[in-house]
Chains A and B, each alone.
Chain A
Amino acid sequence: MWKTAKPSGKYCKNRKAKTISHPGRTAIATLLVLVPLVLNPSSSHAQEPDTGAAAQDSAGPVTPDSAEAIRAGFDRPPSKPRFDAVDAVELPFRIVFYPLRLLGKGTAKLAGAITNISQPREYGLFDRFVEAGVRPRFGSIGPRSSIAAGALVDRFSPFFFESMISIRGSQRHRVGLDFDVFPNRFTASYTFQREAEPHFWGIGPHTRLEDRVDYRWDHQLAAALGSARVSDVTLVGGIGYQDNRVARGFDGARTDIQDSQLADTLYGVNERAKYAVANASATFDKTYNRGLQRRGYYLEVAADLFRGVDGTDSDFHRFRGVVTGYVPANPRQALALRGIAEMNRSDGGRGVPFTHLAAFGDEAGGRAYRDGRFRDQAVLALMSEWRYEVWRELHERGRVESFLLLDTGTVGERFADMRLRHLAWSFGFGMRVVWEGQVRWLAYLAFGKDGGRLDINFSSVF
C-alpha cells in the first residue's frame, strides 16, 4: 500500500528552475555555500551534492567575514512576510488589542522573572534553616489578622515551638510536646494568642454594619489533648486552663468596644475570664479523593464545658455539629454542602462571654459577611458550592477549580427563636487551586446585604 519511491529528478529540475529568473547567480551562490561543507566532512550527508571540491578549488576557504559577503549576495525569499493588504485590515485590531498583549507580555515576563528567582542554584540560608528543623509558616491568626508569618521548630521532637506574627499585630506562640503516633496523638501545650483587631457589631441577627467596634483579645491556653482513631471515627478529648483578656484595639482611629454602649451590658468586655475547660469531640470521616476530586461526607460533633475559676463567675457549655458532603456529578463537577449548628448555654453566673459566642460570617457560614458579623448564643448555617474544574495540571497533580457559592444562616438566642426572615444570604463566585489533594489558594467574591466582599485564603473553607 505504501510504496513511495521518489525519483531523484525532482531536485535536479528544481535547480534548473532557479536559472530561469536569475541565471547563473544562484548557482554560483550555491557553490560558494558548499565550501564549508568540504571544510567539515562530518556535517556532510548523503543528500548533499558532491560538488564541494570543485567549489573549494574555485572559491577558496570561506571565513565568517567572506561568508557575510556571500550572504549579502543571496537572492532568496524575505525573512518574514511583507506588509500586505490584510495587514492593513489587521492594523486596527492590533492597535485595539495591543494593551492586552502588552499586559500579557508583562505578566509573562513577571512570572518568568519570579520563577527564575524561585529556582535556587545552590543551597542557601533558607535551605540550611529547613534542614535544621526550622520550618517557615505562613497563614493567618484569627479574624482580621491579615497575612501572618513565622516558624515552627520541631527538630527536637516531640518538643516543638511555633511562633507567628501578622501584619496587623496578631500573634500566636505555642510551645509543648507533641507525641504523634499515627493514628493516635497526644499533645500538651501552652499557647498565647493575640487577636489584634477583631470587630464586634452587637448581638442578634439585626445588627447594623455601621455599629462596628473594635477590641483586642489576648487568650492563653494550657491544655492536654489526646486523640484516637478507630476506623473512620476519630475521638478527641482534652482538658485545659484558659485565660481571656479583652483590651482596646490597636487601631486608635476606630471606636473601641470599651467606649461603646455595649461595654456595660456585655460580659467579657471589662472582665478577665478564666476557665477550666473540658472538651470532647467525635468525627466520622468518610471523605476521600478520587483523582483530583473530593468526595464523601464528614460528620463532627463536639461538646465544650467551661467552668469559671480564680474568681470568674461564669459557667457555660457549648455543643457544635457540622455535617459536610461532597456530591459529584462527574469527575469534574460536584456539589459541596455544609451544615453548621452551634449552641452555647449558660450554666450559671454571668454566662457566655461575648468572645465565646457563636458567630456567623465568613467561613463560619455567610461568606459575604465579615468574620463574626452576627453573634449570639446559637447559630445555624448552610453553605453550598457548585464546584467545577476549569484547568488540570499536566501530570494531574493538581487543578484549578471555580465555584458558585450560596450560603445562608442566622443567629439567635435559641434555635427556636430563629426565623426565615432572619436569614442572611450570600451568593458569589470563587476560584481555588488544589494541589496534591490540598487547597493551596482560594479566592472568592461574595455578595450579601452588607455589600460585596473579596476574600483570599490559603486553605479550604470546606
Chain B
Amino acid sequence: MGIRTDRSYRSLRAITLYGTAMLALAASVGCSSRPAVPFRPEPIDYADTLPSPQPAETEPREVERLLEASVGGEIARVFSPRRWVGAQHEALNVTRFDDVVNSAWFEHRNGDRRMSPEEVGRGPTTAGPDTSRTLTVIGGKSAGVTPGFTVRDANGTTFLFKFDPKGNPQLSSAAGVISNRLVYAAGYHTPEDYIVVFDSARLELHPEAEIDTDVGERPMTEADIRVVLSGTDALPDGRFLALASKFVPGTPLGPFLFSGVREDDPNDHYHHEHRRELRGLYVISSWLNHIDMRFANSLDVFIDPPGYVRHYLIDFAATLGSGTTRSHNPREGLEYNYDLWATMGRLVTFGFFEKGWEEAEYEQFHPSIGWLQVEEFRPDKWRGNWPNAAFNNRTVRDGYWGAKLVGSFSDEQIAAAVAAGQLPARAAAILTGILATRRDKVVEYWYAKVTPIERPAASLRTEDGRPTLAVSFDDLGLEAGVWPPGETRFLWRFEDPASLTLVRGERAARPGRRQTLQLELREPPTLERRFAEREFTTLRVRAIRPGAANREAIIYMIWRGTEPGYEVVGLEH
C-alpha cells in the first residue's frame, strides 16, 4: 500500500512539475516571441483570384456543424493552454503593416479611402427590380424563419423577396439593407439588396414555380403567394414593401465555413479561422449586432471567367434590432443559442447562474428598429448566436483591425447607410444615433487595447553633427477623440542593434492626429553588417492614457544609407 502511495505521489508530482514547466514555457513563448516582421513572407494582392477549376458545390449539414462548434469546439477552446497563457496564433494573412491585402474575401474600401456618403448609401447596388412591369414569381419558400419568394423582373433579373413580420414594418428589410451597405463599405463582398415597394397585382405565377415547404417541395399556387403576403403588413396604399436581394453573378457553390479551407479550391490558401478578415469580422458583427454570422449566411460563388471563388456575406436581416421575425431580445448578443457553459452553469447551480440578460427589461426603440443594446453594449462581451471558429481565434490585433474599419465610418456615412433602409425619419434618426454610439464603444474598447498608431514615417536629419530621427505616425485614438491630447503620453524605445544604439524617451501628445517623436541619436548609423545579419531597427511606442491597458506598437525600420536614411518597413500593434 505504501509503495503504491509513493508511486501515486511521485506520479502526481511529475504531472504537476510537467504542467508547471510546460505552462511556464508556453507563457514565455507566448509572451516574448514576436516574429521578425520585415523578414516575414508577405501576402499577395488578389493571389486567390487566379484561374482555377470549378470547385464542387457543398451543403454543410447545419445541425452537425453547429453542434460540433457548440460542444466540441467550445471544449477545445476552453481547455486550451494556448488560450490560458494568451499565446493565440496571430492571423496569418497579415501584411507587414498589420493589414490584409485585397482578395476574393475582402477589398479595402472605406477603411482605406474615405467613401462619400452617397457611395456608402449606394453600396454594391446597380439596378433594383423593375416594379413597374410584371414580376414573375418563379419559386417560393414557406419553410424556415422568413417566408418569401423568388421573382424575375421584366429585365430578366432574379431577386429574392423577403418580408417584414406583422406589427414590425420594415424591421428586417431595413436592417438587411443598412447592414448590407455598411458591411460592403467595410470591404466585404455582399449581394445587392434593395428596399422595394410593389403592387401585388403585378405578381404573376410562373407555371413551373415550386415552393419549398416544411414537408418538401411542391408546385406553387396563387394561394401560396397570398399566404406569404398575408404574413406581412401592407402599406396604406395597399402595396407591399419587401427586401429584394439580387442573385449574385456566378455559380453558387454553397456557403464557406469559418474554419478550414475549401479543399478543392487551390486559391483557398489560408485556413479561414486564421484569416484576419474573418477574425476581425467579429468586431463589425458586434457593432451591427449581427448575431447570425454563421456559415449559412455566407456564399461562395464561382466567377467564370476568369474562374475563381469569390466569398460573399449574405442575409443581414437578423442584424441591428431585428431578429428577422421579431425584435431582438436581451439574450441575443450575450449568449450563444446553444451555449455549453451557460447551460452547464445553470444546470449545476439549479438555475441561479445568470449572464446579465435574464432580468433585463427592454422595449423596442421603434417598431421598425426593434431592440438592441446601446448604453449597456460591451464590445468584448458581445456574442453571436453561434460559436464561430474565426471569431474565437481573434486576438487583440484582429480586434483592433476590425475596430479601425468600424471607426472609419463617420456620422454622415452611417446616416447615409441608414437612409438606404428607407425608415421613417424618426426611426432613422434613432438608429443613426444608436449605430454612432455603438461605434464609439467599439472604438474606445479596441483602441484601448493597443497603441493605435498608423501610417508611420521616418526622416533623419543632422544638425550640428548630431543626427535626429523624426518618426511620425497617426494616433487613431486622438483622431477619434477617444482621449484628449492632454491625457496621452508616448513612451518609446529605439533599438538599432547594428549601431548599438538604444534610446528611450517619453513625450506628451500634441493636438492633432499626427504625432512626431524626435529621437536624438549619438552618431549616424552605418550600413556595416546590416544586410548580412538581416538586422533591423525597431521603435517601440506605447501610448499611456487613462483607462487603457494597451500593448506597445512596434515600428520596424531598415537603414538605407545616408539618403534616404531609415525606411519604415513594418508596423505591428
Partner-B contacts on A (CB < 8 A): 1-11, 13-14, 16-18, 20-22, 26, 29-30, 33-34, 36-37, 39-40, 42-43, 45-49, 62-64, 67-68, 70-71, 74-81, 84-90, 92-93, 97, 100-101, 104-105, 107-109, 111-113, 115-116, 120-124, 127, 330-333, 386, 388-396, 400, 402, 404
Contacts and interface: CB of A to CB of B under 8 A. Distances in A.
5 contacts: A7-B455, A26-B42, A46-B113, A122-B218, A388-B346
Contact of B385 (A2, A390, A394, A400): A394
A123 B216 contact: yes
Interface stretch (B104-112, B419-427, B541-549): B104-112
A4 B408 contact: yes
A76 B68 contact: no
A121 B45 contact: no
B102 A111 contact: no
A77 B49 CA distance: 17
A107 B71 contact: yes
Given A3-B479, A386-B350, A392 B49 contact: no
B50 A62 contact: yes
Contact of B52 (A34, A64, A101, A112): A64
A100 B75 contact: yes
A431 B43 CA distance: 51
B64 A108 contact: yes
B271 interface: yes
B485 interface: no
Given A64-B307, A86-B87, A115-B61, A33 B45 contact: yes
Interface string B31-61: 0000000111111111101111100000001
Given A77-B270, A79-B269, A120-B216, A3 B109 contact: no
Given A4-B408, A80-B271, A97-B79, A75 B41 contact: yes
Contacts of A97: 75-76, 79
A86 B64 contact: no
B308 A36 contact: yes
A84 to B, nearest CB: 7
A76 B79 contact: no
Contacts of A4: 114, 407-408, 410, 476, 479-480
B107 A47 contact: yes
Nearest to A94: B76
A155 to B, nearest CB: 18
B63 interface: yes
Interface residues of B, number: 109
A104 B71 contact: yes
Given A21-B39, A45-B107, A81-B274, A105 B45 contact: no
Contacts of A1: 411, 480-481
Nearest to A9: B455
B525 interface: no
Interface stretch (B169-177, B282-290, B321-329): B321-329
B80 interface: yes
A26 B44 contact: yes
A400 B79 CA distance: 26
Nearest to B409: A2
B535 interface: no
Given A2-B411, A85-B26, A101-B75, A10 B455 contact: yes
A9 B332 CA distance: 41
A2 B480 contact: yes
B338 interface: yes
Contacts of A386: 350
Interface string B86-124: 010100111111010010000111011110000000000
Contacts of B114: 4-6
Contacts of A46: 113
B569 interface: yes
Contacts of B17: none
A390 B266 CA distance: 44
Contacts of B326: 395
Given A20-B569, A394-B337, A14 B96 contact: yes
B358 interface: yes
A75 to B, nearest CB: 5
Interface string B555-573: 0001000000001111000
A11 B43 CA distance: 13
Given A6-B114, A101-B72, A394-B385, A67 B52 contact: yes
Contact of B51 (A7, A16, A67, A84): A67
B261 interface: yes
A16 B570 CA distance: 10
Contacts of A107: 67, 71
B22 interface: yes
Given A104-B72, A391-B343, A18 B42 contact: yes
B260 to A, nearest CB: 9
Contact of B64 (A45, A71, A112): A112
B97 A10 contact: yes
Given A42-B303, A93-B80, 4 more contacts: A17-B96, A40-B305, A89-B26, A394-B337
A74 B266 CA distance: 13
B394 interface: no
Contacts of B94: 77
